[in-house]
Structure formats: C-alpha cells, structure tokens
Chains A and B, each alone.
Chain A
Amino acid sequence: MLARAIAAEWLKLKRKWILALAVIGPLGVVLLQAVNYGLRYDYVMKQNADDPWGGLLQATTGLMLPALFIGLALVASLSAGVEHAAGGWKQLLALPLTRLQVFAAKTLLTLLLLLLSCTLLAVFTLAFGAVLGFSLQELPWPDLLRQSYAPYAAAMPFVALQIGLSLAIGNQAVPMTIGVLGMVVSLFGMLLPDWVPYNWPWLALKAETALRAAAAGLGGGLLLLAAGCMHFTRKDVS
C-alpha cells in the first residue's frame, strides 16, 4: 500500500522540476567549487597541498549545508503544496488510505529525494576531485561518507518541521519563508551552543561529534515527525 501511495505522490510531482532540483542542487554546489578552484587554483592547491581531498571536502560542505536547508524546505512545500493548490486533500483523504499512510508517503518521498541529493553530492565531489587529478587511493572514504550523510541525519528535525508546517498551513508562503530564514540561521549555526539543532549539521561534519549529532538529529526528527503526524491525522479537512 505504501509503495502505491509513494508511486502516486511521485506522479503528482511530475512537471514540478523536483527531480531536476534534486540533481541541480548538489551539482550547483560542486560547480561553484569548480569555479572557485578554477579562479584561484594555485592558491587553493597550495593551501591544501598536504591534504587536497580534505580541502575540497571542507570547501564543499560550506555550501552544502545551506543548500540542504533550502532543499528540504522546498521539497516539503512542493509535496504538500500540490494538495493545498486545488482541493486535493478532500479527494485524497476520502480514498481508502489511512492518514498515516498519506503522511508516511509524503515524508518518505521527501526523505528519499534528499537522500538522492546527498548521494549525488558525494558522487559529484568525487568526480570533481578526480578531474582535478587527486589520487583516488588517497580518498578519505570515511570523511566523504560522513560529510555526505551525517548532516542529512542531523538536519532531520528541520525536515520534520518543514513537512509539518507545509501540511498544516495552506499558504505555502509561510513554510517557505520559515525555511529560507532557517537556512540563514543555519549559516551561523556553528556559533550557537551544541544543544541548538541549527548547530547539529555542523557538528555532524566533524569526526568526533558526527555520531552524536546524527543520532540527536534522527531522534529529534522522529519526535517531531510523530508530533506532525498526530496533528495531521486528527485535523478536519476543510
């Protein structure tokens, strides 16, 4: 049943450029680094001479986190927005599906698309490093995988928040605005105390704190998803 619900959600997002966004996001992050390296190749390479991969990974993540924040807000808003747009809820929820299935389908699709973006980021980064002639033998796999997926897990509370807001509020200007502001706050996240969720994606980048940040993110995300789901299953459809 869930598979069918996700298949239906996927069809609804046709012509919304959503797959393109999932590809363009990580591609843009890496392309911007390509421009950066292209313009200041000698300077950047000299700075990271002893650890070229590390330098590249670090440079990439600076843009990756804001892209992740705006991406999760956008996907959550698009997937809820198609229902808000023209009375979709009353048709969808009068079909033989539980509200939990509807919520789960939309959430899983959002999570899968973001996971795809994170995976593509790792692939594009690797490819770019190879183009620059970095040795694949020296590629720090644990670092690459951690930087690609740990922030994703640590950002889960924000995925849950944006899904909840987008489903609860018909006017998508509100969740999108909150998402954009959240992205700006996240830029300064590392200046905030460790317990503030905006710092978690940053903590997830560092080897020593990655596991804790990812676990906290998954835990917090699940709690918020449960709260959002409870609200969604109980509310009347107008």
Chain B
Amino acid sequence: MRRLLSAEWLKLRRSIVWLLLPVSPLIAFAVAWKAPLEAIGGAGWMEAYIISANVHGLMFLPLLVGIFAALLCRFEHASGGWKQLLALPVRPGAVYLSKLAALAGLVALLQLLLGAALLAGGLLRGMDGGVPWAELGRALLGGWVACLPLAALQLWASFAWSSFAAPLVLGTVFTLPNMLVVNSERFAPWYPWAQPLLAMMPRSEEGFGAFNVPAESLFLVIGGSFALFLAAGWLHFRRRAV
C-alpha cells in the first residue's frame, strides 16, 4: 500500500493537478485580504471564511473532486496502465484503495491550502481578534469528510469510463443543481453534492436555508452515501480486475 501510494505520487508529479489546487485558495486569499467585508457586517475572520467557503464549497470543491479522480485514473486509461498495475504483485483492492487515498489526500491538501491562504490574507489585512482555530479547523475538516462520498463515486466513474469527459460530465450534472438545492431546507440535507458546502458552514452561525441542520443527519447522509459508492466501486473494480 505504501509503495502504491508513492507510485501514485510519482505519477502525479507532472500533472495539471498542481495548477488546479491553488484556484480556490487564491480566491480565499483575495477575499480575506481585500474584499469589502465591512459591507456585510464586520471584517472578521469568519466573514471572510464564509464568503470563501461559499464560492469554494458550492461548485469548486465537488467539481475538483471529480477532476482529480479523472486525472488519477487517466494515466492508466491512456496507455494500458491498468493491465500493468494489476499485473504487479499487489491485490486489486489495494490498487483501488490507494487511488482513493491519493484522491482524499489531494482534497485534504486543497482544504489545508484554503485555510492557509485565508490566514495569509487575513494577516496581511491586519484582521482583529484571534484566529478562530477550532471553528475553522472543524469547518475545513467537515468539508473534507463531506467530499469522501463524492470521491468514491467519481473514482468509480473514472475507472469505469475510459473517457476523461464522461466522469466530469457526471460530476457537473449533479453539482449544478446545488444552486437550487442549497436553498431548500427540506432537500439539501439529503443531497450528497450539497454536503461539502453545508459541512463547511459553521454550525454556530445564524444560517438560512439548510445551513443550520443538525450535524447528526448530515453525517448519516455522508456516511451512508460513502458506504454505498465505495462498495459499488469496489465490487465493480474487483470484478473487472480478476
């Protein structure tokens, strides 16, 4: 497993992943540094965070999960790499899990970069008050956890379809309705693609729509869909691999 992960790392080194990672962190940096936060009632850390998280969580995050998954599987589709990879003395399951781990790692890196960029922007602006470490940390971690079901699904799609565009279209088709869904108190908690945004919104804030739904139901949806997509992808991979 460690060897498989380091192999994934090698393959990623010259990938466009590194151009995609900084996109939403740069937005967060700009928001924290220069955005007219006073207009929305205060120039604190959480105001800057909420704006950034809205842009990031609504579309970028779920779509980037899909793009990363497709990029991770592209090497194998491009040059018969699946045959080569599965002919190595490793279990097919380990191959699948190493891809999922690499994908989760990339998303974690993205969340960390977002937090770091926000801090850098805020410090440059000279924001008052201490950094709300606990709230920020919980929100970024929540966003990461909420991405895991999407990661499992996109990985499945990226493995099943050799076309790069197909899994991207799948991700986009399900992410676009977020624009409508997040406004619905009744449906947003049940829609997996809306979870990253919901999970990234701080619980303590006075929210609207679905943003103050109890965490328990969110985790039920996230956990359930993750188990479902992971199992389906895993079974498909095992069947195809043997």
- A residues sitting closer than 8 Å to B (CB atoms) are 21, 28, 32, 36, 39-40, 62-63, 66-67, 70, 74, 77-78, 81, 172-174, 176-177, 180-181, 183-184, 187-188
Q: Does the CB pair A39–B187 fall under 8 Å? A: yes
Given the known interface contacts A32-B177, A74-B165, A184-B59, the answer about A177 and B16 at a Cβ–Cβ threshold of 8 Å is yes
Given the known interface contacts A173-B71, A188-B55, the answer about A66 and B165 at a Cβ–Cβ threshold of 8 Å is no
Alpha-carbon distance A40/B181, docked complex (angstroms): 12
The answer to whether B70 has its CB under 8 Å from any CB of chain A is: yes
- With a cutoff of 8 Å between Cβ atoms, the chain B residues found around residue A188 in the complex are 55
Chain B 169-208 per-residue mask, 1 if CB under 8 angstroms from chain A, else 0: 1001100110110001011000000000000000000000
Other than the given A66-B176, A172-B165, A180-B63, 18 more pairs (CB < 8 A) read A21-B169, A39-B187, A62-B179, A63-B177, A63-B179, A172-B164, A173-B70, A173-B164, A176-B164, A176-B165, A176-B168, A177-B16, A177-B67, A180-B67, A180-B172, A181-B23, A184-B59, A188-B55
Alpha-carbon distance A180/B176, docked complex (angstroms): 11
- With a cutoff of 8 Å between Cβ atoms, the chain A residues found around residue B23 in the complex are 181
**Size of interface on B: residues with Cβ below 8 Å to A:** 25
Q: Does the CB pair B60–A184 fall under 8 Å? A: yes
Given the known interface contacts A177-B67, A181-B23, A187-B59, the answer about A32 and B168 at a Cβ–Cβ threshold of 8 Å is no
Alpha-carbon distance A100/B184, docked complex (angstroms): 50
- Chain B residues 19-58 with CB under 8 Å of chain A are 20, 23, 55
Q: Does the CB pair A70–B16 fall under 8 Å? A: no
Alpha-carbon distance A180/B175, docked complex (angstroms): 11
23 intermolecular pairs with C-beta atoms under 8 Å apart:
A21-B169, A32-B177, A32-B180, A62-B179, A63-B176, A63-B179, A63-B180, A70-B169, A70-B172, A78-B165, A172-B165, A173-B70, A173-B74, A173-B164, A176-B164, A176-B165, A177-B20, A180-B67, A180-B172, A181-B20, A181-B23, A184-B63, A187-B179
Most buried by B among A21, A78, A176, A188: A176
Q: Does the CB pair B169–A74 fall under 8 Å? A: yes
Alpha-carbon distance A36/B67, docked complex (angstroms): 28
